[in-house]
Amino acid sequence: MAATGTLAEASTIFEPHNNVMNAGVLFSLPALLSQGLLKATDIYDPLPKGFYGFVHILLLLAFMALSRIKNPEQLKKSPPGELGKVLGLDRVPEAKCLREKLSLIIFQQKAETFERTLSKEWIASDECLFFYIDGHVRVYHGYLANLPKKFVSRQKLCLPGTTEYWVNDEKGLPFMFIIGELNERLKDAIEKIIPALIEDTRSLVDEKALAADPDLPRFTIVFDREAYESAFFAKLWTQYRVAVITYRKNVNPHCR
């Protein structure tokens, strides 16, 4: 039926088994659902009729990440039947099939919408008004792009790569991230992130209280000394009513 296009998707049926490889990932399923993993079904369009549906692919990607299977090619090293049992199927898709399904999902270009939906929900549920913004270098190991070199602190080397700017709460739990341009600075990334945070915190901020108290910030962002600049702080306050917490750079120890 799947081959002829008359099957919408295969039914998920769990059966008793012994010694299933990577079955421990099922313990994380309640946590994944509580964080809104399946909300993607409200954003993405369903996949064309076939054996594997959108939810199957979504759960497979989550279980692959938890099992440290980093890409579809590495699925070739895992028994397809074992992972299939975890999904309630007889087997998982082969690498070629998975790439085709992922291409259909990527073609919809709704990843940012999905991320924004989850971020807004997480911020509202945590009632978070303090955000830590930091950049992390993702090293590029390919040969097709000529990227500028960036200092990678964990390796003490300058290597080609891009910078990802993450937004975390006071506990270090992530809300969102953006990939910076080739030579983008932390200050530029912050100015891109703030409009999204304003939208996500709209339900937590009392606009009347902001208008009544000129010293009340909309929210507070925390970042390191890379973005230290007095004029930048003033701009964030006057334009967005955003407070900052950081520390000075180039401090003279002989000055008080």
pLDDT tens-place string over residues 59-75: 999 999 998 988 888 88
Give the Cα separation of 112 and 69 in Å (integer).
24
Give the Cα separation of 99 and 94 in Å (integer).
9
> Quick check: is 256 in a domain?
no
Q: Check whether residue 103 and residue 128 sit in a common domain.
A: no
- Looking at 107, 134, 163, the residue that finishes a domain is 107
pTM of the predicted model, to two decimals?
Answer: 0.77
Q: Check whether residue 103 and residue 214 sit in a common domain.
A: no
Give the Cα separation of 162 and 177 in Å (integer).
13
- Looking at 70, 85, 107, the residue that finishes a domain is 107
Residue listed under structure tokens 């790439």: 99
Name the most confidently modeled range: 77-81, 147-151, 190-194: 190-194
Q: Check whether residue 121 and residue 221 sit in a common domain.
A: yes
* Mean pLDDT across the chain: 86
Q: What is the pLDDT of residue 76?
A: 86
Give the Cα separation of 224 and 32 in Å (integer).
31
Q: What is the pLDDT of residue 39?
A: 92
Q: Check whether residue 139 and residue 85 sit in a common domain.
A: no
Domain range enclosing 191: 112-245
The count of domains in the chain is: 2
Give the Cα separation of 168 and 123 in Å (integer).
10
